[in-house]
Structure formats: C-alpha cells, structure tokens
Amino acid sequence: MDTKQVKVHNKTMIAGIIGATGYAGAELVRLLYRHPEIEKLALSSVSFEGEFIQDVYPSFLNNISYPLLKAEEVITLSDVVFSALPHGVGEPYAAACMERRIHFIDLSADFRFDDDEEVYSAWYGKKYQFSELHKKSVYGLTEFNRRRIKELSASGPVIVGNPGCYPTGASLGAYPALSKGLIDGDSRLPIIINSVSGASGGGREPSRSFHYSECADSVSPYKVASHRHSPEIARNIAAMACFSGGNAPRVIFTPHLAPMNRGILSAIYIPLSEKWRITSGPVLPPSKDNEEAAEKIRELYKDFYKNEPFIRVLPADLSAATNRVRQSNYCDISVHLDINGSTLIVITAIDNMVKGAAGQAVQNMNVLYGFDEKSGLEAIPMLF
C-alpha cells in the first residue's frame, strides 16, 4: 500500500465533524447526513461530550442520532474530517489528520492565511503552531481554487482553509470584474464592500449583541474598520486582480447586523476602468446607454460563471436578496451600473451558514474526492 495516497473512498465513508454543536458544525451535520456518498458521521463536542447531537438540537429528533465523542476519537473513526472549532485551536487536529492520511477541512480562519502568518497573527492573536501544515493547505473558495484543491488531493491528504462568510460573498461578486480587467487600476479608488449579515453569523453562544431585544427590529454596523474578515477579503481581491495583471486595489469592508436568521447581502462598489465607463451628465434616471452598458457587464458575469453550479447571475429586473438563497449553496449575483456611469455595483446574496460555511465545506469535499460538486447540496431555496 502506497502510504503517500489519501484514503480512498469506499461505500462506508465516514465523515467526522469536530465541534459539531456550534451552528456551523450542526449545519454540517444536517448537510452531510443526507450526502449520498457519506454513510455515517462521527461527531465531537467539548461542551456536550457524552450527550447525543439530537439532545443539543432537537430538530434532529427521529432523524439524526449520534453520540458526541472526543475530537481524537472522531479523527480515528473518520475518512474525512471537518473542523468547526473556534479559531486558534484546530492545528493539532489537522496534524493528526495529515498523519492518518485523511483530508482536513477547517471552517475556522486558521488555514486561510497560509502565506501570511503576519497578517493572521495580527488579526487572530496567535502564531502558527505547526508551520509545515500551512504548506499543505489550500484556501477553499471553491470557484477560485477548484483546480488547485483537486490537484493537491492527487498527491496526498489536503488541508482546506474554508473561507469566511463575508469573504465568500464579497470575493465571488468581485471576481469577474477583477479577472476581466474591468476595474480602474488607480490605487486611490477603493473597492467598497458593504455587507449585512443575519444573526446566525454570531454563533450559538448567547451574548448581548445577539440578545433578541437588543438586535430585533434594528440594523447597525459593527466592528467598522476592524473586522477580521477585512484582511481575508483584501487578500482575495488582490489575488484575483493580480491574476489578471492588475494592481491590488484598496478594499474597504463594513459589516452590519440585520434582524434575520440567515443570509449575507453584500453591496460591492467597483470603480470601472475607462474602457468600461460611460459618460454621464446631471443626475438623471438611468439612460438607455446606461442600461446597455450594465447589460454588457451582466453578460460578462453570466459568461464568466456559466459553468458554475452554485452561482446565479440574475436578470436585469432582479436584485439579489437573501431570502431567495436561504438554506441553499447558491450565491446570487445582481449586476448594476451606477447612474453616473463609472461605478459597478455588484450585489451578492448567500446563506451565511451554507455557501458561507458548511455548504462550501461540503463543496470542497466533493472536489477533493471527485464527487459531483452538487452532491448533498441540492436543496432548493425556501420560498418564504
């Protein structure tokens, strides 16, 4: 047996989830339980070890019933391991998985900055413990890194750093514009990303910010100019811009909390290069020229994403909305041109718990194993 190879898939594939009782962990349970290639789950929890997952989430009653084990036990039992632990504690488990020759998909930030420990440690307050692991890892924005994820899986077990929820919606919205050189290269023109998230993004632990009476019926920004997803978004956008020979633009990111359960809506403001701008006079309703220029860019987006199973570039009469992607792995994108003709406005909507966390992790597993990328992710968005 060639120990350099990752464990092959067989009919009794077991997926392990470390940290299964947080929101992202539980959403992974829900998705993987119905995944056609997964036979069983193995779950761990520090807080609820010894109990059953359905005791913590009674929604699962009569369906899903697994004991909550120790992380080490889960790793021993599993063919692939997902980690939904908090930032900064997962590296030893990643190391253990590498040793066992099984893939490790990490939903924390620990493997999102592999080239840049300085940025990681500045924002997350920790140094890398196992530096060599960060050479085996890949950033799991599937639509951007699909090929690399696949390639790495050919030569051994892989660590996937699953993206943050905000960076997913922001990066997918900017990607075509950056790749196709639509953006003005002038370094003084920033890309501005204004995002609104539902409360499930705050996780399961009660706190004042997510106490019903404090956040219901209200909208507010938080961590303005200081959210930890800022460097991840900036890095992604730089990579996408450089990929097409452009400069890394400045990026401004402001997250907000809105009174909804799930969803992230991002408005992405991209300054257009001269070629894509149209001239405009006073502030009048969108002209026919404006609409045509918008449609041209919309078509470019549609073409760019035409083979992507989870990206829907919407027609001109629709704007992206979080309730139309709820519980699905879709990223809906609507493309607009400002009336002044010089700024592209891209709106993206994702379910923060699915495409923004657990769903994308499953998508990455599908890529790693060569499964149909849609396996286990075929939920149609709820209507209401």
Active site residues: 165
- Answer for which of 129, 179, 323, 375 binds its own copies (CB under 8 A) is 323
Check residue 339 for interaction with its own copies (CB under 8 A): yes
- Answer for which of 48, 52, 128, 269 binds its own copies (CB under 8 A) is 269
Check residue 282 for interaction with its own copies (CB under 8 A): yes
Dihedral in degrees, nearest 10, Cα atoms 16, 34, 348, 368:
50
Our CB check for its own copies shows the closer of 136 and 326 to be 326
What minimum distance in Å lies between the beta carbon of 323 and its own copies? 3
Our CB check for its own copies shows the closer of 96 and 258 to be 258
Q: With b meaning 16 or more CB within 10 Å and e meaning fewer, what string describes 250-262?
A: ebbbbbebbebeb
What minimum distance in Å lies between the beta carbon of 95 and its own copies? 28
Q: With contact defined as beta carbons under 8 Å apart, do 240 and 172 qualify? A: no
What minimum distance in Å lies between the beta carbon of 119 and its own copies? 6
Check residue 259 for interaction with its own copies (CB under 8 A): yes
**3-state class of 80 per DSSP?**
strand
Total count of residues recorded for the chain: 384
Check residue 381 for interaction with its own copies (CB under 8 A): yes
* Backbone φ, ψ for residue 214 (5° rounding): -90, -25
Concatenating the DSSP letter of every residue in 337-351 gives E-TTSSEEEEEEEE-
Q: Which stretch binds its own copies (CB under 8 A): 160-168, 173-181, 266-274, 361-369?
A: 266-274
Our CB check for its own copies shows the closer of 5 and 63 to be 63
Write a three-state SS string for 95-141: HHHHHCCCEEEECCCCCCCCCCHHHHHHHHCCCCCCHHHHHCEEECC
* Backbone φ, ψ for residue 121 (5° rounding): -70, -30
Q: Which stretch binds its own copies (CB under 8 A): 148-156, 173-181, 205-213, 359-367?
A: 205-213
What minimum distance in Å lies between the beta carbon of 70 and its own copies? 23
User: Site size for its own copies, by CB under 8 A?
Assistant: 107
Check residue 122 for interaction with its own copies (CB under 8 A): yes
Q: Which stretch binds its own copies (CB under 8 A): 37-45, 60-68, 85-93, 127-135?
A: 60-68
> x-or-dash pattern for its own copies, window 213-252, by CB under 8 A?
xxxxxxxxxx-xxx---xx--xx--------------xxx
Check residue 81 for interaction with its own copies (CB under 8 A): no
| Cβ neighbours of residue 261 closer than 8 Å, sequence gap 6 or more | 198, 199, 200
Check residue 273 for interaction with its own copies (CB under 8 A): no
Minimal CA–CA distance to 256: which of 310, 319, 322?
Answer: 322
Check residue 320 for interaction with its own copies (CB under 8 A): yes
Q: Which of residues 149-188 bind its own copies (CB under 8 A)?
A: 184, 186, 188
What minimum distance in Å lies between the beta carbon of 5 and its own copies? 34
What minimum distance in Å lies between the beta carbon of 306 and its own copies? 11
Cα 300 to Cα 177, 296, 304, distances in angstroms:
9, 6, 6
Check residue 375 for interaction with its own copies (CB under 8 A): no
Angstrom distance (rounded) from CA 362 to CA 107: 11
Check residue 343 for interaction with its own copies (CB under 8 A): yes
Dihedral in degrees, nearest 10, Cα atoms 59, 61, 64, 66:
110
**3-state class of 204 per DSSP?**
coil
Check residue 202 for interaction with its own copies (CB under 8 A): yes
Check residue 129 for interaction with its own copies (CB under 8 A): no
What the block records as the tokens of 358 is 């657990």
The amino acid occupying position 96 is A
Query: What is the gyration radius of the CA atoms in the chain, in angstroms?
Result: 21
Q: Which stretch binds its own copies (CB under 8 A): 4-12, 141-149, 168-176, 344-352?
A: 344-352
The amino acid occupying position 15 is A
Q: Which of residues 14-43 bind its own copies (CB under 8 A)?
A: 23, 26-27, 30, 33-34
Cα 296 to Cα 104, 270, 291, 315, distances in angstroms:
41, 16, 9, 12
- Answer for which of 324, 361, 365, 373 binds its own copies (CB under 8 A) is 324
What minimum distance in Å lies between the beta carbon of 115 and its own copies? 12
